[in-house]
Structure 1
């Protein structure tokens, strides 16, 4: 059942006010990501509005905020530069369809395969990325239009306002929780700058620096229906398909990991497959209404959660407030000092970073520590999706390496002179060498019995290892008996097929990952 917010006026107020806070923080980020992608600011703002409202209504995680993101913007930039913005709209539309298909096929469950060290590295790396992204707000355009670092009085004013914003957000909840601290901080610092006439950089200044136009504004109309103006041909598909697949993958990985983090913070559970569909529908609409697409935003989601937003109303109100800014409130939003928004994001950084991970150093396996640090570093140097993929691969290899050591054999010779090998542990690609080293055909007696009752064969490599073992004993002119293999293993063995003893009552039943089964 669709539930807009939790029961009670307090929930409605919290969701609405936290949505306003999020909308204020969305404006400069959407503008910045639009310029990263090489498109107009309104393309980024429209994306933030459409992503926000659609995923809030039909997505699987109430309280999570979606919009234009840097992770997807860096994928778009080369497509826009080479082929133009219309091809971007087509790629975003196709990416949305891929994401919908992922949800229909229930692929969202695979996010559970992300190990905890990877999640720690993801969160810590993300906090560093958010922090570094705010540093660009300490740059201004010089007379030649080049960005240079602030210095002197402007820098002191900027730092002072950032500290004031952070202080309000930190201490106000100790006095009252009637209003979101982030919203109070933004409004207070804006009024302070306005009435004291401080020389502080504003949202309009950011827009002017990035566009090179002093009169640049975020004002605009409603998004208009617009079919991407590209040739409907295989050549177009050849161009946009690689970008669409990457955009879909990056968007889903970042969204589902953010969903998992919000689940942990709120002690509730979102629906991953439904979120895949929500993200897909939002991106499809973006492609048809002139938006750059996007995915879940960890920073804004954290602002929303910290401000008391829990229901779908918080995301809906954030999107509607953002649209209001575009339609009628651009002049007011452009007055907000950037320092106030930077202060809000610095608080997000402090809340996002897992400081407890420092206490885990030396207390958890070295491999887990390495994976966490690796994911954080790759997140900072490349993007979140690549970092998570790298982390999962490395974790899987570490897991395989460790379990490769767990295969062993108990041996004895019975009264008939037959040597018995009772194998225990997993037989797969990582353990085949250890398995082979357990046997010594040259010194073994003429009759050998290998018992797999306490072992499991997991893949094609394991089957090949058994066949290779049979061949070794055949070359040594000795008789090998194999028992307690699953029927599936028996069917797939080639060289050892005649050596397998069939026992319908005792042989186990399990499946093996092998292409021949397809």
Structure 2
């Protein structure tokens, strides 16, 4: 049985009202991302409905909103342009199956490997991307069919309505939290624009700007229920060759954005979602999209922030948003068409302010310049490229910084025992980054006849460390000296070549741990 509240801090009234607010914000973005991907508006709207409904019902994070997203839309462009929308549906279907497998094999836990500066960079980058995306609403189509920046009264009305929307959202919660401030702002601005017949572009104007001239007059958001249809593509290896690269990228981008958004909401609400369950939920939703004519998607940080800030905490909020969205598409499309874009832009600007991690400036002012560099890097790559590349780059750079720092942590205490043997008591990790420091600790030429290397306070992490021990043993052998290696694991000993004969085994004291190397696979 599905718990539609799904969180102890949720209630039905807040979830329903917040869901209605989110549904209003989903429409223009779903349409915009559909055009980004090169597909019809209804393909984006269907995706927003199916993603939102399924992930809210069976996903791993109550209160998180999923739908058609820009991060995934940009991946689809080339496939749609070259092979058509049916191949897109097939790619989304395969991406969903890959995401389900990720959940089944419990790969969602690897999101914990994303460092905090990478998370901050991801959030800040998305906030900037959301902000930049709204600037497109300040453009209009001129007589030549080209987009140009607003001027004169049109610009002033737009700025004034955006400011009014933001003011209502900011001030209303100080008076009452009985209803979501975003919903009140959208309704108020819509009534004001149409009541006073103000010069303001609406959602339907935005849709018409994206269409060829012959289709503008008949443009509408009205639609029908999505219908089941297997993608009309040949089911052979050639099709797999075409869609597999896109499917893999879609699956990765969708999971990364969804799991990072899940972690962000966990932190905001002081609760914890299930990453693996979210992988399965996203996968099922994308699989359904593939056979019901949707463009697929993933978690939407902007709409999720609207939902959380409006009081939506339970599964009912996402389900409500999806159902209301479908209701608008089927029965109330004219109402959506009437909403001024300025109201939606104002809502998204508030989202940008709330999404941006202002605490990141403390890291920038702090002494840890490496974290500040990673934060800036991930933010920049998110804006310039896409989320998946940014996170991968951030994790790699963070790992290299970590390796560089810990490479210097290896050291050795030396003393001479009662037998005149020189003992090196190692401390710190021995891995690819610390190999050069490890070799500098020893003096084979001037050391006595018998030398002991004690690994009791050290650990060999990879095959580079094992190779360094072999190399050191070879140097002592060339000097005609005896080397003794103590307290090393059986796995290390098995991988050694030249140093294997120098190991003094002590089954009671020797550690047991695995080494990161393919030889043990």
TM-score, with normalisation over the residues of structure 2? 0.98
2:145 matched to which residue of 1? 145
Q: 1:360: how far off?
A: 3.1
CA distance in 2, matches of 1:411, 1:364: 34
Q: 1:326: how far off?
A: 1.0
1:349 matched to which residue of 2? 352
2:2 matched to which residue of 1? 2
1:32 matched to which residue of 2? 32
Is the CA contact (8 Å cut-off) linking 2:10 and 2:313 kept in structure 1? no
2:201 matched to which residue of 1? 201
Between 1:450-459 and 1:416-425, the stretch displaced more is: 416-425
- 1:282-325 residue CA offsets vs partner (Å, 9 max, x unmatched): 00000000000000000000000011100000000100111111
Relative to structure 1, the CA distance from residue 151 to residue 452 in structure 2 (aligned partners, 3 Å threshold; closer, same or farther) is: same
- 1:129-188 residue CA offsets vs partner (Å, 9 max, x unmatched): 110010000011111211111010000000000000000000011111111000000000
CA distance in 2, matches of 1:488, 1:248: 36
CA distance in 2, matches of 1:360, 1:506: 43
- 1:303-359 residue CA offsets vs partner (Å, 9 max, x unmatched): 000111000000001001111111111111000000000000000001111112223
2:18 matched to which residue of 1? 18
- Secondary structure in structure 1 of the residue aligned to 2:364: coil
Q: 1:436: how far off?
A: 0.9
2:219 matched to which residue of 1? 216
1:128 aligns with 2:131: no
2:379 matched to which residue of 1? 376
1:441 matched to which residue of 2? 444
1:503 aligns with 2:503: no
1:320 aligns with 2:323: yes
2:422 matched to which residue of 1? 419
- Secondary structure in structure 2 of the residue aligned to 1:361: helix
Is the CA contact (8 Å cut-off) linking 2:10 and 2:311 kept in structure 1? no
CA distance in 2, matches of 1:269, 1:111: 13
2:515 matched to which residue of 1? 512
- Secondary structure in structure 2 of the residue aligned to 1:360: helix
CA distance in 1, matches of 2:6, 2:520: 50
Between 1:288-297 and 1:207-216, the stretch displaced more is: 207-216
- Secondary structure in structure 1 of the residue aligned to 2:365: coil
Q: 1:9: how far off?
A: 13
- Secondary structure in structure 2 of the residue aligned to 1:18: helix
1:258 aligns with 2:261: yes
Q: 1:7: how far off?
A: 9.2
Residue of structure 2 aligned with 1:431, choices 413, 431, 434: 434
Is the CA contact (8 Å cut-off) linking 2:6 and 2:62 kept in structure 1? no
CA distance in 2, matches of 1:377, 1:201: 32
Gaps of 5+ in 2: none
- Secondary structure in structure 2 of the residue aligned to 1:426: strand
Residue of structure 2 aligned with 1:339, choices 321, 342, 365: 342
2:108 matched to which residue of 1? 108
Q: 1:124: how far off?
A: 0.9
- Secondary structure in structure 2 of the residue aligned to 1:482: strand
1:169 aligns with 2:169: yes
Residue of structure 2 aligned with 1:392, choices 376, 382, 395: 395
CA distance in 1, matches of 2:305, 2:446: 66
Residue of structure 2 aligned with 1:457, choices 444, 457, 460: 460
CA distance in 2, matches of 1:89, 1:57: 22
Is the CA contact (8 Å cut-off) linking 2:38 and 2:80 kept in structure 1? yes
Relative to structure 1, the CA distance from residue 6 to residue 282 in structure 2 (aligned partners, 3 Å threshold; closer, same or farther) is: closer
- Secondary structure in structure 2 of the residue aligned to 1:129: helix
1:80 matched to which residue of 2? 80
**Cα RMSD after superposing both structures:** 1.3
1:304 matched to which residue of 2? 307
Between 1:219-228 and 1:502-511, the stretch displaced more is: 502-511
Relative to structure 1, the CA distance from residue 5 to residue 364 in structure 2 (aligned partners, 3 Å threshold; closer, same or farther) is: farther
2:48 matched to which residue of 1? 48
- Secondary structure in structure 1 of the residue aligned to 2:311: coil
Between 1:356-365 and 1:298-307, the stretch displaced more is: 356-365
2:485 matched to which residue of 1? 482
- Secondary structure in structure 1 of the residue aligned to 2:454: strand
- 1:53-104 residue CA offsets vs partner (Å, 9 max, x unmatched): 0000000000000000000000000000111111000000000000000000
1:289 aligns with 2:292: yes
1:362 matched to which residue of 2? 365
Q: 1:218: how far off?
A: 1.1
